[in-house]
């Protein structure tokens, strides 16, 4: 009986937390800023950039890491990761420092046409590790939208 009570007291906060997590709204991508290339290579190139985002949720969220793939105009650009742990404030802007590993074979094949356009179709798919009150879970990242080429050059 005592073990059952202890189990119930542990499960109730966990269930309340999971219910609250189910109502998380996806952060909004506002812009891609400060794109830099600290390492150029023939096969792979590393880019760093900051994603300017907005957290529409009424509570702050703890961010641990993220990883996934990025595409431009339907062509795979490369793999990205975010290794910086941070607390994302509620209902405010935040910046995620992203590392993007470009596959130069695909990047060079499609780069000539990109600079002739004003906008490109950007697609991002991956997972982020998010938490609240000490509980962490994997959250899917999915974004598709148009981005101005001028934003990349800032």
Name the pairing type of β-strands 28-39 and 86-88. unpaired
One digit per residue, pLDDT tens: the chain, 154 residues? 444 444 444 445 544 444 444 567 778 888 878 888 776 766 778 888 888 889 898 888 888 999 999 888 888 888 999 998 999 999 999 998 999 888 776 665 655 555 567 777 888 899 988 887 778 888 888 888 887 766 555 5
- The pLDDT value recorded for residue 1 is 47
Secondary structure (3-state) at 153: helix
- List Cβ neighbours of 27 (8 Å cut-off, separation of 6 or more): 53, 54, 55, 56, 88, 94
CB-based contacts of 9, cutoff 8 Å, min separation 6: none
Closest to 99 measured CA to CA, from 126, 130, 62, 138: 126
H helices of 42-124, where?
Answer: 104-114
Domains of the chain: 25-153 (2.60.40.1820)
């Amino acid at each position: 009986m005592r073990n059952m009570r202890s189990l119930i007291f542990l499960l109730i906060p966990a269930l309340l937390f999971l219910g609250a997590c189910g109502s998380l709204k996806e952060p909004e991508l506002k812009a891609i800023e400060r794109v830099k290339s600290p390492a150029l290579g023939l096969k792979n190139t590393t880019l760093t950039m900051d994603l300017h985002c907005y957290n529409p949720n009424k509570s702050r969220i703890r961010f641990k890491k993220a990883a996934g793939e990025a595409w431009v105009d339907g062509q795979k650009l490369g793999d990205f990761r975010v290794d910086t742990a941070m607390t994302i404030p509620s209902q405010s802007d935040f910046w995620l420092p992203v590392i993007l590993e470009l596959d130069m074979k695909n990047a060079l094949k499609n780069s000539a046409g990109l600079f002739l356009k004003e906008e490109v179709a950007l697609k991002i798919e991956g997972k982020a590790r998010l938490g609240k009150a000490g509980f962490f879970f994997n959250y899917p990242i999915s974004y598709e939208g148009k981005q101005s080429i001028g934003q990349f050059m800032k």
